[in-house]
Homo-oligomer: A and B are copies of this chain.
Amino acid sequence: MADLLKTVDDQALAERFAATRSLTEALATPLSAEDQTVQSMPDVSPTKWHRAHTTWFFETFLLVPQRPTYQPFHPAYGYLFNSYYEEIGARFPRPHRGQLSRPGIHEIADYRSHVDGAMTALLEEPVDGAVASLIELGIQHEQQHQELLLMDIKHVLSRNPLLPSYADITMPCPTAEGRTTWTEYEEGIHQIGHDGQGFGFDNESPRHPVYLGAFAVADQPVTCGEWLAFIDDDGYHRPELWLSDGWATVQSEGWEHPLYWSRVDDIWQEFTLGGPIMVNPAQPVVHLSYYEAEAFARWAGGRLPTEAEWEVAARDRGLDGHLLDREVLHPAPSVLSAGSASLVGDVWQWTSSAYSPYPGFEAAAGAVGEYNGKFMVNQYVLRGGSAVTPPGHIRATYRNFFPPSARWAFSGLRMARNP
């Protein structure tokens, strides 16, 4: 684990720790005690749970092992706020997180303060590389939960007939829908995976060669306008476009459009963190399952990129898409042109790659090794970050993953094809 973070500047680490912790609280600020309590489906966690669980991570993996005199804030919180670490012990069942009214939001604020104080004290002293790596992991972990917090509260609010807003957001002006442009890449052996410079999760390693045939990747993500054409062409009713499991899901769930879309008086609307808006054809389409993305690609005559293709295409293009710092909290119309622009931001992009270990992958020893490896089945890789990804938390080698039926992440797609 120590080698995940080659050089650590303690001062910067303390600052980033503080900034990350503060951002979580800032994201929760618009939400009432009631908002922070609700769990709208088993995959969703209450806001206050995210605030507590990220705190539990620092308490459990840093304070308890590193500070012999540290007293856990509450004896039951280890049970309540462990997410899935089997080695740490039993845990409260995930689907029932919304049944817990206590601890309330004020007790959780106290918990955060308590742990922040102890962590600040720890960070005031020199820390060795292994400890610094764990703190870095805790920061990155909390950043993931910042995105989850926003995904989850969007789902919670969407279930309420009052359609409440999380925040007032100003969407960029609707623009004309651009034309898709493509960039081509030649066949050959490419290195993919994390090169060890800066932080990377264990699942991004080891860096390794892959052979790729020639391919082309679209410079823009697929837009709502293109998705409307798919709908109009009866895309949700043609089994030949779908994987068998996808078609079964379309039928059992009654899918006719992306999650959060609805048709009101013949006008397509979508629910956002700013409440309902009209669907803008120029914006990237978002909240798709893998099944929908894959079917669309077939309909459109192309295919999804593999994660290796995506990474090769992305790595020389920078990271300047719409992330959380843009504060739109929703994918925005793209103004990017061929070959020049980032593949990052706005929407996570489904790839055709099942989430599997890289050759030679080894999980870290101990409980933190349960972080990524044990989920390497029944999921597909998404790449690129989204409008609710914290800046600094995305890179070309980053592997996100969800089951193929999941739609509540900010998931869209980018096309690939054989040249």
Spell out A's residues near B (CB within 8 Å).
32-38, 40, 48, 76, 79-80, 84, 86-87, 92, 96, 98-105, 156-157, 159-162, 164, 189, 208-211, 213, 239-240, 242-247, 290-291, 294, 352-354, 356-357, 359-360, 370, 374-378, 404, 418
Contact = CB atoms under 8 A, between A and B. Distances in A.
B156 A80 contact: no
B377 A245 contact: yes
A376 B103 CA distance: 40
B104 A34 contact: yes
Nearest to A377: B243
A291 B267 CA distance: 41
B160 A86 contact: no
Q: What is the copy number of this chain in the assembly?
A: 4
Contacts of A370: 240
B246 A377 contact: yes
A182 to B, nearest CB: 18
Nearest to A156: B101
Nearest to A355: B354
A99 B40 contact: yes
Q: Which of A79, A164, A374, A378 has the most CB of B within 10 A?
A: A378
A38 to B, nearest CB: 5
Contact of A32 (B33, B246, B247): B33
A17 B157 CA distance: 35
A209 B376 CA distance: 25
A352 B246 CA distance: 23
B189 A211 contact: yes
Given A99-B160, A352-B356, 11 more contacts: A33-B33, A34-B104, A37-B101, A79-B161, A84-B244, A86-B239, A87-B240, A210-B211, A245-B375, A360-B418, A378-B404
